């Protein structure tokens, strides 16, 4: 009997790659706004012998997430693994800074995470079991002049995830915070700066699924970028600014 995994932002990029990888061992519930794309992915998974269900859901809309999650649970059964993956980047820099664009980003990357997790956490607490995965980024571990709004949203996801991990343990709920470096998706296609150690989504998904299976609290990868960031963040801020402005 397969457990059920639900993934937000499953229509593209990392979420889609995670859905394909997880469908080897889980029944997968797919949530995003583009249902036509989700329907295609669902058929692809089913054609390979997997079980999948999809619903339209906008992570910025709490009620749409509650509806999508409860309908997928009705289709597939109780959700054991929930991955709050949906996220956006903005390309906001100093000269293009916009409060409205920043709010839209936080609406998806922060409120979207709390709306998504809010749609499953009460059921997991009641069952005394479950595994919640948040999709942060290595960007959340460093200060950057090139994507500071995006990076700050991911730093907040880190803080949320580790606090949730502390609170959830006594309820039998695990938490894993994923912190990828650069992965080749529509999101990174918009970046006009250097992206060292770029990974393909299927390679990244395999690594993340292993970290999830190990119930790692935090998984930062690739290791080269993880340690480079650790090194840079030990330096005085003035030196960090010089390095990160290149």
Q: What residues act catalytically?
A: 150
Q: Please name every residue paired with 50 in a beta bridge, in sequence order, or none if there are none.
A: none
Span interacting with ligand NAP, options 161-169, 179-187, 219-227, 233-241, rule CB under 6 A = 179-187
The distance of closest approach from Cβ of residue 32 to ligand NAP in the complex, given in angstroms and rounded to an integer, is 3
Task: Considering only residues 186 through 225, tell me which ones interact with ligand NAP, judged by CB under 6 A.
Answer: 186-188
| SS3 assignment for the chain | CCCEEEEECCCCHHHHHHHHHHCCCCEEEEEECCHHHHHHHHHHHHHCCCCEEEEECCCCCHHHHHHHHHHHHHHHCCEEEEEECCCCCCCCCCCCCCHHHHHHHHHHHHHHHHHHHHCCHHHHHHHCCEEEEEECCHHHHCCCCCCHHHHHHHHHHHHHHHHHHHHHHHHCEEEEEEEECCECCHHHHCCCCCCCCCECHHHHHHHHHHHHHCCCCEEEECHHHHHHHHHHCCCCHHHHHHHHCC
| CB distance 57 to 32 below 8 Å | yes
46 vs 186 by CB, closer to ligand NAP: 186
Q: Is 29 in the site for ligand NAP (CB under 6 A)?
A: no
Report the residue from 23, 80, 85, 151 that binds ligand NAP according to the rule CB under 6 A: 85
Of 52-60, 91-99, 221-229, 234-242, the window that binds ligand NAP (rule: CB under 6 A) is 52-60
Helices 201-213/13-22 angle, 10° precision: 50
**Rounded to the nearest whole angstrom, what is the least distance from the CB of residue 126 to ligand NAP in the complex?**
25
Q: How far is the CB of 202 from ligand NAP (least distance, A)?
A: 12
Q: Which of 15, 29, 50, 222 binds ligand NAP (CB under 6 A)?
A: 15
Q: Closest approach of Cβ 44 to ligand NAP, in Å? A: 15
Which listed range, 54-62, 74-82, 212-220, 237-245, lies at the site for ligand NAP (CB under 6 A)?
Answer: 54-62
- According to CB under 6 A, which one of 20, 105, 108, 121 is a site residue for ligand NAP? 108
**Which residues in the 128-157 window bind ligand NAP by CB under 6 A?**
135, 137
When the beta carbons of 76 and 183 are compared against ligand NAP, the nearer one is 183
Q: Which of 90, 174, 185, 220 binds ligand NAP (CB under 6 A)?
A: 185
In the complex, the residues that contact ligand NAP under the rule CB under 6 A are: 8-15, 32-34, 57-60, 85-88, 108, 112, 135, 137, 180, 182-183, 185-188
């Amino acid at each position: 009997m397969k457990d059920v995994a639900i993934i937000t932002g499953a229509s593209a990029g990392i979420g889609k790659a995670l859905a394909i990888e997880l469908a080897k061992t889980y029944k997968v519930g797919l949530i995003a706004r583009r249902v036509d794309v989700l329907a295609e992915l669902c058929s692809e998974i089913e054609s390979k012998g997997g079980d999948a269900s999809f619903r339209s859901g906008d992570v910025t809309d709490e009620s749409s997430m509650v509806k999508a999650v409860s309908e997928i649970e009705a289709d597939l059964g109780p959700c054991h693994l929930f991955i709050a993956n949906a996220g956006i980047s903005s390309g906001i820099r100093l000269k293009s800074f916009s409060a409205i664009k920043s709010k839209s980003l936080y609406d998806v990357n922060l409120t979207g995470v709390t709306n998504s997790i809010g749609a499953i956490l009460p059921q997991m607490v009641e069952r005394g079991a479950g595994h919640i995965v948040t999709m942060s980024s290595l960007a959340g571990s460093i200060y950057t002049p090139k994507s500071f709004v995006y990076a700050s949203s991911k730093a907040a996801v880190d803080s949320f995830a580790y606090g949730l991990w502390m609170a959830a343990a006594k309820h039998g709920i695990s938490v894993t915070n994923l912190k990828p470096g650069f992965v080749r998706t529509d999101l990174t296609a918009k970046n006009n700066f250097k992206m060292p150690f770029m990974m393909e989504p299927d390679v990244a998904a395999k690594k993340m699924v292993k970290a999830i299976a190990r119930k790692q609290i935090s998984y930062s990868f690739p290791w080269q970028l993880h340690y480079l960031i650790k090194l840079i963040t030990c330096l005085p801020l003035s030196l960090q600014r010089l390095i990160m402005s290149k």
